[in-house]
Amino acid sequence: MSVRALLTALVAGVVLLGLPRFLGEHHMHVIIQILLFAYLSLCWNILGGFAGQLSFGHALFMAAGAYTSTLLLLHAGISPWIGMIAGGVIAAALGLFIGYLSFRYGIKGTYFALVTLAFTEIARIVALNTPAIGGALGLYIPIQTDDFWHLKFIQKSHYYYVALAFLLVALAVNAWLERSAFGHRLVAIRENEDAAQALGINLLRYKLQATALSAFLTALGGTLFAHYVTFIDPHTLLNMNMALELTIYAIIGGVGTLWGPVLGALFLVPLAEGVRAAFGQSYAGIHLVIYGAVLIGVILFAPDGFIGVLRSIRELRPRRAPAAQSSEARS
Amino acid sequence: MSLLVVEGLTKTFGGLRAVSNVSFAVEPGAIVGLIGPNGAGKTTTFSLMSGFQRPTAGDVFFMDERITGLSPDAICLRGLTRTFQIMQSFPKLTTLQNVMIGAYARHTTVTAARRHAMDIMSRLAMVERAQELARNLTLADLKRLEIAKALATSPRVLLLDEVVSGLTPTEVDELVVLIRSIRDDGVTIVMIEHVMQAVMALSDMIVVLHHGEKIFEGVPQDAVKDPRVVEAYLGEELLLA
């Protein structure tokens, strides 16, 4: 079994590393977006999936990363690799602030979602009206030359490799949550707060830790996003669509699972891109209508997301296998 | 001093006095039965003792420390854990994972928590259910799981809220044996129970609540003779018997 897993990983690795050789610019663009949003969705998954605290505040955390690193680069010439850490720290601090306000008073579920959404909206309005950080016009990141230290690449494929590395980090963090005491505690909180508390789990402490970790990693993705698109403004980063999209990928793929957010992004990003290419001129925002339809379908027919569907297919299989074996043994 | 002391505990909800000036002490190694008719304030008393609700007045002392107003997790880590009358499991997790969550109160690593959880489960004869999801368990198994989770936190005092109710007589007998063996291992037990068969068989001492007030405290044999208890709770059925 482990040999098979190793082989799968090897093949996947070779395919993923070699992919840029065979794809054009546009396809690379779609794939980079898939990786980036899969990464962001996995970061959301730490708080929204494992700890079960539905957050629409991740657009804010992403923007914190994007703005901090960009401002540091523009004004002080500081490398985005350092800037993203600074952005991560700021995002984590914001997360702790919002989290403390909410969790201290037992706000959870939809109410927590609304609180986080409100903070994202506040941030959008503040950013729109603060000329020092670009206001409504936003900030441009000047394109220089190929420079890894400044996260600037002429070739898209280089962004692809960076995004791929990010995704692997997020997968590793999520895999760790699945296996660690910390992750198990978060799941316990998600499944039943009273029971978790009765068994000695400090709800506030673990929710805040999950928020900080989730916000920090999301901000790193925000920096990468900013440098990939080379332009940030409140309309793209701090709008409700961004807040919803990160959530929807995870929900459709399978909330609180390792591969769910990846599957969600893998399915929805190309779908949105295709729909946008086909109808974007005449029907702006049509991809959101499609998202809505898919979301309704998933909630009705596959409440555990794509992962849930895959699991139930897998569970059906072994039951047949022993029956087949025993009939062979008899003959 | 006693292991657990409840002193003048009072809880009001608006005009309703759910628990009114209740005091009792629990000695180490005892099994104390907390009984009373529906709405007597038994579960509220448990909630006050375990930190799920803050008393309006009065105090709870555990191992000579005042624990009034502490959060349930802090109280659990000090060694006092409760189970819930309406069973509170983690439905999407396996039985083993459920018990492991309790074990994390004392163990930092997953391996140690799993080993501890398996020990608890083998003591409670639940090993066969280890990989079963909690939501697929029968009522009797859920009650056992409720005890297993709480035991996994290695408590000094265990508050059991109606773990026997709703079971068949055979299952009740099994659970009575189990609860006694838990006590014999050094865990002090306070139990809310309606099933008199279990209360009488197990309790060293009985506290009877009625309309939020303590109306009796003493050994089970005296409880059935006490006219106030008979009138308030046990009713004619027991008089006939």
Contact B19, B207 (CB under 8 A): no
CB of A199 within 8 Å of any CB in chain B? yes
Per-residue pLDDT at B233: 65
pLDDT in tens, A52-67: 999 999 999 999 999 9
Query: Which chain A residue lies closest to B113 (C-alpha atoms)?
Result: A181
Contact B134, B184 (CB under 8 A): no
Least confident of A23-37, A198-212, B221-235: B221-235
- Residue among A179, A185, A198 minimizing CB distance to B104: A185
Bridging pattern class, strands B65-66 and B57-62: antiparallel
- Residue among B73, B84, B113 minimizing CB distance to A201: B73
Residue A199 lies in a domain: yes
pLDDT at A287 over 70: yes
Q: Which residues of B touch A188 (CB under 8 A)?
A: 90, 93, 101
Query: Which chain A residue lies closest to B49 (C-alpha atoms)?
Result: A198
For residue A213, CA distances in Å to A73, A98, A167, A192 come to 24, 14, 15, 22
The alpha-carbon radius of gyration of chain B (Å, integer) is 18
B3-12 b/e with 16+ CB inside 10 Å = b? bbbbbebbbe
pLDDT in tens, B134-149: 999 999 899 999 999 9
Domain that holds residue A228: 26-330
Residues 209-228 of B with CB under 8 A from A: none
Rounded to the nearest angstrom, the minimum Cα separation between A189 and chain B is 9
pLDDT band at B197 (very low <50, low <70, confident <90, very high): confident
Per-residue pLDDT at A136: 84
Q: How many residues does chain A have?
A: 331
CB of B97 within 8 Å of any CB in chain A? yes
- Residue among B83, B92, B110 minimizing CB distance to A181: B110
Average pLDDT, chain B: 90
Q: Which residues of A touch B74 (CB under 8 A)?
A: 202
Per-residue pLDDT at B105: 95
Asked if B73 and A180 come within 8 Å (Cβ–Cβ), the reply is no
Asked if B82 and A198 come within 8 Å (Cβ–Cβ), the reply is yes
Give the mean model confidence (pLDDT) for residues B18-38: 92
Give the mean model confidence (pLDDT) for residues A7-36: 85
Asked if A199 and B102 come within 8 Å (Cβ–Cβ), the reply is yes
Sign of the Cα pseudo-torsion (B15, B21, B26, B30, in order): negative
Residue A196 lies in a domain: yes
Vertex A321: Cα angle to A318 and A326 (nearest 5)? 135
Specify the DSSP class assigned to residue A284: T
Rounded to the nearest angstrom, the minimum Cα separation between B225 and chain A is 36
pLDDT band at B234 (very low <50, low <70, confident <90, very high): low
For residue B160, CA distances in Å to A35, A262, A277 come to 50, 44, 62
Specify the higher pLDDT residue, A314 or B161: B161
Instruction: Write the single-letter amino acid at B79.
Output: G
Query: Which chain B residue lies closest to A189 (C-alpha atoms)?
Result: B90
Asked if A197 and B72 come within 8 Å (Cβ–Cβ), the reply is yes
Per-residue pLDDT at B223: 83
CB of A179 within 8 Å of any CB in chain B? yes
For residue A232, CA distances in Å to A62, A76, A317 come to 11, 18, 48
* Cβ-proximal residues to A266 (8 Å cutoff; 6+ apart), any chain: A34, A38, A253
Specify the number of domains making up chain A. Answer: 1
Asked if A201 and B82 come within 8 Å (Cβ–Cβ), the reply is no
Q: CA-to-CA distance for B75 and B174, rounded, in angstroms?
A: 29
Select from B84, B60, B76 the least CA-distant residue to B2.
B60
Tokens of B14: 């608006």
pLDDT at A146 over 80: no
Asked if B101 and A188 come within 8 Å (Cβ–Cβ), the reply is yes
Give the mean model confidence (pLDDT) for residues B52-72: 94
Q: CA-to-CA distance for A62 and A40, rounded, in angstroms?
A: 8
Residue A106 lies in a domain: yes
Q: Is A62 buried (19+), middle (13-18) or exposed (0-12) by CB count in 10 A? A: buried
Rounded to the nearest angstrom, the minimum Cα separation between A187 and chain B is 9
How many residue pairs bridge chain A and chain B with CB atoms within 8 Å of each other?
82
pLDDT in tens, A181-240: 999 999 999 999 999 999 999 999 999 999 999 999 999 999 999 989 889 999 888 988
Residue A304 lies in a domain: yes
3-state secondary structure chain B: CCCEEEEEEEEEECCEEEEEEEEEEECCCCEEEEECCCCCCHHHHHHHHHCCCCCCEEEEEECCEECCCCCHHHHHHHCEEECCCCCCCCCCCEHHHHHHHHHCCCCCCHHHHHHHHHHHHHHCCCHHHCCCEHHHCCHHHHHHHHHHHHHHCCCCEEEEECCCCCCCHHHHHHHHHHHHHHHHCCCEEEEECCCHHHHHHHCCEEEEEECCEEEEEECHHHHCCCHHHHHHHHHHHHHHC
- Residue among B84, B93, B109 minimizing CB distance to A187: B93
Rounded to the nearest angstrom, the minimum Cα separation between B107 and chain A is 9
Per-residue pLDDT at B239: 47
* Cβ-proximal residues to B22 (8 Å cutoff; 6+ apart), any chain: B6, B8, B9, B10, B41, B45, B58, B209, B212, B213, B214
Contact A249, A58 (CB under 8 A): no
pLDDT band at A328 (very low <50, low <70, confident <90, very high): very low
Tokens of A312: 């139930």
- Residue among A191, A199, A203 minimizing CB distance to B153: A199
Instruction: Report the percent of chain B where pLDDT is more than 90.
Output: 69
Q: Which residues of A touch B52 (CB under 8 A)?
A: 194, 197-198
Instruction: Write the single-letter amino acid at B57.
Output: A
Tokens of B135: 């939501």
**CATH (domain of A163):** 1.10.3470
Domain that holds residue B89: 4-240
Contact B165, B195 (CB under 8 A): yes
Q: Which residues of A touch B111 (CB under 8 A)?
A: none
**CATH (domain of B112):** 3.40.50.300
Per-residue pLDDT at A319: 52
Residue A16 lies in a domain: no
Q: CA-to-CA distance for B107 and B152, rounded, in angstroms?
A: 10
Asked if B149 and A195 come within 8 Å (Cβ–Cβ), the reply is yes
| pTM recorded for the entire structure | 0.89
pLDDT at A144 over 80: no
Contact A245, A37 (CB under 8 A): yes
Per-residue pLDDT at A318: 57
Q: CA-to-CA distance for B175 and B97, rounded, in angstroms?
A: 22
Per-residue pLDDT at A331: 36
CB neighbourhood size of B197 (10 A): 13
pLDDT in tens, A67-124: 999 999 989 888 889 999 999 999 999 999 999 999 998 888 899 999 999 999 999 9
Average pLDDT, chain A: 87
pLDDT in tens, B162-179: 988 888 888 888 899 999
Interface test with A, best of B71, B93, B97, B104 (most A CBs within 10 A): B104
* Cβ-proximal residues to A211 (8 Å cutoff; 6+ apart), any chain: A47, A51, A53, A55, A92, A95, A96, A98, A99
CB of B131 within 8 Å of any CB in chain A? no
Vertex B130: Cα angle to A195 and B138 (nearest 5)? 70
pLDDT band at A321 (very low <50, low <70, confident <90, very high): very low
Rounded to the nearest angstrom, the minimum Cα separation between A180 and chain B is 6
Specify the number of domains making up chain B. Answer: 1
Q: CA-to-CA distance for B165 and B195, rounded, in angstroms?
A: 6
Asked if B90 and A188 come within 8 Å (Cβ–Cβ), the reply is yes
Tokens of B178: 């189990």
Contact A219, A62 (CB under 8 A): yes
pLDDT at B45 over 60: yes
Per-residue pLDDT at A44: 96
* Cβ-proximal residues to B210 (8 Å cutoff; 6+ apart), any chain: B36, B37, B40, B228, B232, B233
CB of B43 within 8 Å of any CB in chain A? no
* HSE-up (13 A, CA, CB side) for residue A22: 6
Per-residue pLDDT at A206: 96
